[in-house]
Amino acid sequence: MNLSPDPLSQPLRDLTGSMTHPHHQGSHWQPKKSPEPSFYYFAYGSCMCPVDLKRTFGENTHHYVVGTAILKGYRLGFYRRSLRRNCGALDVVSDPNSSVEGVLYHLPWRFSDRLDVREEVPRNGYRHEYVDVYSGGKRYQNVRTYVVIDKLPQELAPNDWYLNVVLRGAVTCGLSEEYCWWLFNHMYQLQLQQSQEVILANCS
């Protein structure tokens, strides 16, 4: 009687073409690398734009985009003066009747410190907030986002550069058309109001 050999006792051919045994691979055996630590990040301002985010990380970030996402129970507002741009910067504040659209990233942990620096965490500009967001029909829990620590009493208009980069990220990553129009109108109205206040101040 011819018995089929035990497949587990047969040598295996590795990717280099050499013959190795599954239980005794000798010096050619390498332990499997653990996946790189990572975290989910919800961006709602200038970081929605992968091109702009590349300036912070020094590499392309498009492939880290999970998709558009919705943060429920918050609303958007310009309650921070950006130290770098000297204009209003976006924030999210708790509001049970509102929601914020943005972009969900799945970033390697090696980006964490650089993202904190961009968000002025060392200067007590923003702090981490861990939230639940909805993207692609799924709920993502314990997602990092950033909220302003010392909020301005009223919104401060963004400059043209900030307005353009926020809109570019919103449109490029596919936020809803209705939200993009709302976002543009909100920023434009803040700029218009600020211009009128400057004119009145100069006339007084």
Domains and their CATH numbers in the chain: 38-196 (3.10.490.10)
- pLDDT digits over 59-80, tens only? 999 999 999 999 999 999 999 9
pLDDT tens-digit profile of 173-184?
999 999 999 999
Residue 136 sits at φ, ψ, to 5 deg, of: 60, 35
Segment 109-162, tens digit of pLDDT: 999 999 999 999 999 999 999 999 999 999 999 999 999 999 999 999 999 999
Its pTM surpasses 0.85 = no
Whether residue 9 has pLDDT greater than 60: no
What is the percent of the chain with per-residue pLDDT over 90, rounded to a whole number? 74
Neighbouring C-alpha atoms within 13 Å toward the C-beta of 73 = 5
Euclidean distance between the first and final Cα of the chain, in Å?
109
| Amino acid, single-letter form, for residue 87 | C
Whole-Å CA distances, 72 to 16, 38, 78, 139, 176: 52, 23, 18, 11, 15
pLDDT (0 to 100) of residue 64: 96
Q: In the prediction, which pLDDT does 7 show?
A: 44
- For residue 20, what pLDDT is reported? 41
Share above pLDDT 70 across residues of the chain, in percent, rounded to a whole number: 83
